[in-house]
Amino acid sequence: MKGKKYFGCGMLFFLIALGLFAWWRYYFVFGEGVKAGDLNFLVKKGYVFKTWEGRLIQTGFKTPAPGSMQSNEFEFSVVSDEVAKKLENASGKFVELRYKEYLHALPWRGMSRYVVTQVLRIEEQREENDLPY
């Protein structure tokens, strides 16, 4: 009788620990922020779960270490169809996006750890004629 009680308590503890680990790994918001750049593409794709996936091209050539290369592409997923429709109409334009960063991706949330939650600003492309020639 005592063994069943310990086994039941051990299983309950294990299930709670497993639930907390899954929440931390897949649902804990690690960070939030804003990224800005030119929207390269936004596409809805997937075999089982159709998710919105996009890419933002950021300007600049800052690198953390001299002589190294840094990607200025920000790949993201979009969960909300409303946000996706706004971005579909903004392809090729300068956009400013608010996002959440998770520790790992989920198939129904998208392929990226970064999930865009809001479109803050959309601007038309500007011609930069600051060159002296």
End-to-end alpha carbon distance in the chain = 90
Ranges of the chain with pLDDT below 70? 1, 60-71, 126-133
Instruction: Give the tens place of pLDDT for each residue, 64-99.
Output: 666 666 668 999 999 999 999 999 999 889 999 999
d(CA 12, CA 121): 48
pTM (predicted TM-score): 0.76
Distances in whole angstroms, Cα of residue 96 to Cα of each of 24, 33, 69, 112: 28, 11, 24, 18
**Per-residue model confidence (pLDDT) at position 3:** 77
Domains and CATH numbers, the chain: 29-123 (2.40.50.140)
**Per-residue model confidence (pLDDT) at position 87:** 94
